[in-house]
């Protein structure tokens, strides 16, 4: 094998940088962004860093260079993270007493015509009625006139132009909201009588980055403002997750947490709330689990049942009805 030429040396330098950055992302779930918000931003880059490192492995193997070992080792060290990003095989275990929970950020049912279709609201209803969930958690919800769903409204809460809602076929015994200072985002919950047990369902909408997904090149002019916004949002999300976790710890019932986290499975937020909990996608999902309509496969919407529950099936619906994709899980309470 020949020595590296200048171009290959340059590529290996870049390879080394992205390999180190990938390693750093492995420790970010253990670092509270309230204290280190600058480095927390890197957690959003994990999928991209993983793909770049895989590309370098293939590149060096094709060139018959042992340099592929660097990225290969870095990928293997964080192999457990890969399943949070991509699932090779799903599963489908259907039980009669499964609870079907659907979560969907509906973006106000296309109130301002972001999608050029006059039937988005009805299409959402048709999709949901066809899938027949037992529980629905809506984010960015408005009480849209003429909303035809074959499931009762359990709890609706409005914070600003839009709000949150939980629909349920189960009897509602208690309900409430967790609001945050200086934020229109919030969390609602409902205690549902499922069989002989009471289960609390949390519908989560954490602080948003409010990015324009159609504006991919922000340029130097906006870069500082963008980074500042990211740091602020990471700190807000940290506070919101801590508040939610404390609320869950004080809950006398088993819980299911679902909704739009506005962050990925590689964040501190996700790691913090996942204590004694399962990720429905990791348990039964397939492919990338992309839940946000963007050119890159971001998974920021989650269904997280209690660790004692079983997930029999998980589905992401690839439909253009919002800037998010609806997700649904079949959950068995194991009573």
Q: pLDDT of 26-76, one tens digit each?
A: 999 999 999 888 899 899 999 999 999 999 999 999 999 999 999 999 999
pTM above 0.85, yes or no: yes
Q: 311 with 329: CB under 8 angstroms?
A: yes
Percent of the chain with pLDDT over 70: 95
Q: In what order do the strands lie in the sheet with 310-316?
A: 153-158, 163-168, 135-141, 99-105, 327-332, 310-316
Residue 264 is predicted with a pLDDT of 94
| 4 C-beta neighbours (distance < 10 Å), count | 14
Q: pLDDT of 235-261, one tens digit each?
A: 999 999 999 999 999 999 999 999 999
Q: Considering Cα of 281, then 154, then 119, then 127, what sign does the dihedral take?
A: positive
Kind of pairing between the strands at 254-260 and 197-205:
parallel
Of 112 and 74, the one with more pLDDT: 74
Name the pLDDT band for 210 (thresholds 50, 70, 90): confident
Residue 38 is predicted with a pLDDT of 86
Cα–Cα distance, 314 to 125 (Å, whole number): 20
What φ, ψ does residue 297 adopt, rounded to 5°? -75, 75
Residue 147 is predicted with a pLDDT of 85
pLDDT at 214 over 60: no
Cα–Cα distance, 25 to 91 (Å, whole number): 29
Cα–Cα distance, 297 to 266 (Å, whole number): 13
Cα–Cα distance, 102 to 275 (Å, whole number): 22
pLDDT at 89 over 60: yes
Helix 68-77 × helix 6-27 angle, to 10°: 10
Mean pLDDT of 313-319: 96
Per-residue CA distances from 233 to 7, 243, 298 (Å): 39, 15, 17
Q: What is the mean pLDDT of the chain?
A: 92
Q: Considering Cα of 247, then 253, then 258, then 259, what sign does the dihedral take?
A: negative
Residue 80 is predicted with a pLDDT of 87
pLDDT at 334 over 90: no
Q: pLDDT of 177-203, one tens digit each?
A: 999 988 989 999 999 999 999 999 999
pLDDT at 221 over 70: no
Mean pLDDT of 101-120: 93
Radius of gyration of the chain (CA): 21
Residue 45 is predicted with a pLDDT of 92
**CA 225 to chain centroid:** 24
Q: Considering Cα of 116, then 131, then 87, then 237, what sign does the dihedral take?
A: positive
């Amino acid at each position: 094998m020949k020595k590296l030429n200048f171009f290959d040396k340059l590529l290996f330098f870049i390879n080394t940088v992205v390999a180190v950055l990938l390693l750093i992302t492995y420790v970010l779930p253990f670092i509270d962004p309230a204290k280190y918000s600058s480095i927390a931003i890197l957690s959003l880059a994990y999928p991209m860093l993983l793909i770049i490192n895989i590309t370098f492995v293939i590149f060096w193997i094709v060139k018959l260079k042992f340099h592929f070992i660097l990225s290969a080792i870095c990928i293997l060290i964080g192999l457990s993270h890969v399943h949070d990003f991509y699932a090779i095989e799903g599963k489908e275990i259907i039980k009669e007493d499964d609870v079907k929970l659907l979560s969907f950020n509906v973006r106000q049912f296309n109130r301002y015509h972001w999608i050029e279709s006059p039937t988005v609201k009805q299409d959402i209803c048709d999709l949901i009625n066809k899938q027949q969930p037992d529980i629905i958690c809506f984010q960015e919800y408005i009480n849209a006139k003429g909303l035809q769903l074959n499931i009762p409204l359990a709890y609706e809460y409005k914070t600003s132009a839009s709000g949150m809602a939980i629909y349920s076929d189960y009897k509602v015994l208690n309900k409430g909201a967790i609001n945050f200072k200086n934020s229109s985002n919030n969390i609602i919950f409902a205690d549902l009588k499922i069989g002989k047990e009471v289960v609390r369902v949390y519908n989560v909408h954490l602080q948003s980055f409010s990015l324009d997904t159609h504006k991919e090149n922000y340029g130097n002019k906006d870069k500082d403002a963008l980074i500042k916004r990211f740091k602020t949002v990471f700190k807000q999300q940290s506070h919101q997750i801590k508040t939610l976790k404390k609320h869950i710890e004080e809950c006398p019932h088993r819980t299911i947490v679902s909704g739009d986290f506005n962050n990925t499975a590689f964040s501190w937020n996700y790691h913090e709330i996942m204590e004694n909990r399962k990720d429905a996608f990791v348990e039964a999902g397939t492919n990338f689990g992309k839940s946000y309509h963007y050119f890159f496969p971001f998974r920021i919407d989650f269904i997280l049942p209690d660790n004692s529950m079983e997930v029999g099936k998980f589905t992401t619906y690839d439909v253009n009805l919002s800037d998010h994709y609806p997700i649904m899980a079949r959950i068995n309470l194991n009573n």
